[in-house]
Amino acid sequence: MGTSSEEEEYNAFLEKVKRTIYVDNLAPQVTESVMRTAFNQFGYVKSVQFIPVYLEPKNAPRAALVEMDNPKQAAGIIDEMGKYPFMILGMPRPVRSSAARLEMFEDRPRKPGRKIICRWLDPKEPEFEVAKKLKAAVRRHAAEASTVLEEQRAEEEKLANQQKDVLTAHHNKYELLQALFEDGSAQRLGRHYEMALADA
Amino acid sequence: MSQPMEHKEKPFPELKRDHIIPFSWGVRRGSINLYESFTLEGVKYSLYDTVCLRHNGQAGIGKLIRILEIDNHEKKVEVVWFFKPREIASFLGDVEPLKQELFLACGEGKGLSNVNPLEAIIGKCDMVCSSKDQRNPQPTEKELESADFLFYRTFDVGSRKVLENFPSSIAGIKVDHFFNKRSSDTLGDGSECKEPLKAESPKCDIRLGAPGCTSSTSSRQIKSSIRDRPHARDNIKRSVQFLPASPSDIGPAKKRKLLPFSGNRSDDALFNPPTTASGEEKHVKLSCIENTDLSARKSSYLETREFTGKGPVNKKHVGTGISHKFSEVRNRTDDALPNPPTTASGEEKHVKLSCIENTDLSARKSSYSEISEFTGKEPVNEQHVGTVISQKFSEVRNRTDDALPNPPTTASGEDKNVKPSFRKNTDLSTRKSSYSKTSEFTGKGPVNKQQVSMSISSKFSEVTRRPGMDASKWLKLEVWAAERLNEANDKGTLLVLENLEPSFAASEVEDIVWHVFKENVKAKMVQSTAFSSLRSGQALVIFKTKEAADNVMFELLNGCLVLGDGRPIVGRRKIIRKVGVAERFAGHLSIDRGRSYKQREEMRNAVSTSHFSQDNTIEFEMAIQWRELEEKTRIWWAALQEQQGKEIEPLMKQMKIQSPE
CA gap B511, B505 in Å, rounded: 10
Q: Which of A190-194, B101-105, B161-165, B285-289 is predicted with the least confidence, judged by mean pLDDT?
A: B285-289
pLDDT at B383 over 60: no
Within a 13 Å sphere around the CA of A49, how many CA atoms are in the beta-carbon half?
18
Contacts of B250 (CB under 8 A, 6+ apart): B38, B39, B40, B75, B118, B242
Residues of B in contact with A53 (CB under 8 A): 529
Let me know if B94 is exposed, middle or buried by CB neighbors in 10 A (0-12, 13-18, 19+).
Answer: exposed
Q: Could you tell me the pLDDT band of residue B604, with boundaries at 50, 70 and 90?
A: very low
DSSP B293: G
pLDDT at B619 over 60: yes
DSSP structure string for A86-114: EEESSSBSPBEEEE--GGG-SSPPPPTT-
Contacts of B235 (CB under 8 A, 6+ apart): B181, B183, B186
Q: How far apart are the first and last CA of chain A?
A: 77
Higher per-residue pLDDT: A128 or B297: A128
Q: B610 and A41: CB-CB below 8 Å? A: yes
Q: What's the pLDDT tens digit per position in B564-598?
A: 888 899 998 866 555 444 467 788 877 554 444 44
Q: Using CB atoms, pick whichever of B582, B624, B648 lies closest to residue A59.
A: B582
pLDDT at B640: 93
A136 touching chain B per CB within 8 A: yes
Q: Which amino acid is at B401?
A: D
Q: What's the pLDDT tens digit per position in B245-271?
A: 333 333 333 333 333 333 333 333 333
Mark which residues 39-68 of B lie under 8 Å from A by CB: none
Q: Which of A38-47, B546-555, B610-619 is predicted with the least confidence, judged by mean pLDDT?
A: B610-619
Residues of A in contact with B620 (CB under 8 A): 85, 92
pLDDT at B659: 57
pLDDT at B123 over 70: yes
| Mean pLDDT, residues B181-210 taken together | 41
| Mean pLDDT, residues B400-426 taken together | 37
Contacts of A139 (CB under 8 A, 6+ apart): B397, B401, B415, B498, B570, B572
A150 touching chain B per CB within 8 A: no
CA gap B345, A157 in Å, rounded: 38
A43 touching chain B per CB within 8 A: no
Whether the Cβ atoms of residue A57 and residue B486 lie closer than 8 Å to each other: no
Whether the Cβ atoms of residue B332 and residue B352 lie closer than 8 Å to each other: yes
pLDDT at A68: 94
Q: Could you tell me the pLDDT band of residue B602, with boundaries at 50, 70 and 90?
A: very low
CA gap B338, B327 in Å, rounded: 21
Q: What's the pLDDT tens digit per position in B31-51?
A: 778 888 888 888 888 888 888
Whether the Cβ atoms of residue B168 and residue B119 lie closer than 8 Å to each other: no
Q: A117 and B460: CB-CB below 8 Å? A: yes
A193 touching chain B per CB within 8 A: no
Higher per-residue pLDDT: B451 or A55: A55
Count of pairs with CB atoms under 8 A, one residue in A, one in B: 350
Whether the Cβ atoms of residue B471 and residue B548 lie closer than 8 Å to each other: no
Give the other-Cβ count within 10 Å of A167's Cβ.
17
pLDDT at A58: 66
Q: A141 and B647: CB-CB below 8 Å? A: yes
Q: Which amino acid is at B105?
A: A
Whether the Cβ atoms of residue A38 and residue A88 lie closer than 8 Å to each other: yes
Contacts of B260 (CB under 8 A, 6+ apart): none
CA gap B179, B130 in Å, rounded: 9
Residues of B in contact with A104 (CB under 8 A): 527-529
| Mean pLDDT, residues B68-78 taken together | 82
pLDDT at B429 over 70: no
pLDDT at A98: 93
> Which 3 state secondary structure label does DSSP give B257?
helix
Query: Three-state SS across B552-568?
Result: HHHHHHHCCEEECCCCE
Q: What's the pLDDT tens digit per position in B155-165?
A: 888 888 888 88
pLDDT at B353 over 80: no
Q: Using CB atoms, pick whichever of B482, B590, B610 lies closest to residue A86.
A: B610
Whether the Cβ atoms of residue A135 and residue B563 lie closer than 8 Å to each other: no
pLDDT at A199: 56
Count H helices and E strands in chain A, helices first: 5, 6
Mark which residues 45-64 of A lie under 8 Å from B by CB: 51-59, 61, 63
Q: How far is the alpha carbon of B393 from chain A, nearest alpha carbon, in Å?
A: 6
pLDDT at B424 over 80: no
pLDDT at B4: 44
| Beta strands across the sheet bearing A96-99 | A45-51, A62-68, A20-26, A96-99
Q: What is the pTM of this model?
A: 0.50
Q: Could you tell me the pLDDT band of residue A20, with boundaries at 50, 70 and 90?
A: very high
Cα dihedral across residues B194, B197, B198, B199: positive or negative: positive
A153 touching chain B per CB within 8 A: yes
pLDDT at A55 over 60: yes
Residues of B in contact with A138 (CB under 8 A): 498-499, 536, 568, 570, 648
Mark which residues 195-254 of B lie under 8 Å from A by CB: none
pLDDT at B337 over 80: no
Q: Could you tell me the pLDDT band of residue A21, with boundaries at 50, 70 and 90?
A: very high
Q: Which amino acid is at B440?
A: E
CA gap B456, B211 in Å, rounded: 91
Residues of A in contact with B603 (CB under 8 A): 89-90
Whether the Cβ atoms of residue B546 and residue B491 lie closer than 8 Å to each other: yes
Q: A37 and B607: CB-CB below 8 Å? A: yes
Angstrom CA distances, A51 to A26, B219, B503, B582, stand at 11, 72, 16, 18
Q: A118 and B564: CB-CB below 8 Å? A: yes
Residue in B closest to A33 by C-alpha: B607
CA gap A187, A182 in Å, rounded: 9
Q: B591 and A89: CB-CB below 8 Å? A: no
pLDDT at A65: 95
pLDDT at B375 over 60: no
Q: How far is the alpha carbon of A48 from chain B, nearest alpha carbon, in Å?
A: 15
Asked if the bond preceding B4 is cis, omega within 30° of 0, the reply is: no
B336 touching chain A per CB within 8 A: no
B639 touching chain A per CB within 8 A: no
pLDDT at A122 over 60: yes
| Mean pLDDT, residues B451-480 taken together | 52
Q: B610 and A87: CB-CB below 8 Å? A: yes
Q: What's the pLDDT tens digit per position in A72-103?
A: 999 999 999 888 889 888 888 999 999 999 99
* Parallel/antiparallel/unpaired status of strands B149-156 and B127-129: parallel
Q: B562 and A146: CB-CB below 8 Å? A: no
Instruction: State which of A2-11, A38-47, B104-113, B274-283 shows the largest mean pLDDT.
Output: A38-47
Q: B587 and A90: CB-CB below 8 Å? A: yes
pLDDT at B57 over 60: yes
Q: Could you tell me the pLDDT band of residue B9, with boundaries at 50, 70 and 90?
A: very low
CA gap B600, B211 in Å, rounded: 65
Whether the Cβ atoms of residue B629 and residue A159 lie closer than 8 Å to each other: yes
Residue in A closest to B568 by C-alpha: A131
Q: Could you tell me the pLDDT band of residue B366, with boundaries at 50, 70 and 90?
A: very low
Q: Could you tell me the pLDDT band of residue B466, with boundaries at 50, 70 and 90?
A: low
Whether the Cβ atoms of residue B348 and residue B416 lie closer than 8 Å to each other: no
B387 touching chain A per CB within 8 A: no
Q: Which of A174-178, B309-313, B486-490 is predicted with the least confidence, judged by mean pLDDT?
A: B309-313
Residue B114 has φ and ψ, to the nearest 5°, of: -150, 150
Instruction: State which of A13-22, A109-118, B61-70, B216-225 shows the largest mean pLDDT.
Output: A13-22
| Mean pLDDT, residues B75-97 taken together | 83
Q: What's the pLDDT tens digit per position in B641-656?
A: 999 999 998 888 888 7
* Mean pLDDT rounded to a whole number for chain A: 87
Residues of A in contact with B602 (CB under 8 A): none
Contacts of B312 (CB under 8 A, 6+ apart): B146, B378, B380
Q: B559 and A120: CB-CB below 8 Å? A: yes
> Which 3 state secondary structure label does DSSP give A11?
helix
Residue in B closest to A154 by C-alpha: B364
Give the mutation candidate from B480, B535, B589 for the A interface (greatest A CB count, under 10 A): B589
Asked if ipTM goes beyond 0.85, one says: yes
CA gap B226, B224 in Å, rounded: 7
* Mean pLDDT rounded to a whole number for chain B: 61
- In percent, the amount of chain B with pLDDT more than 70 equals 47
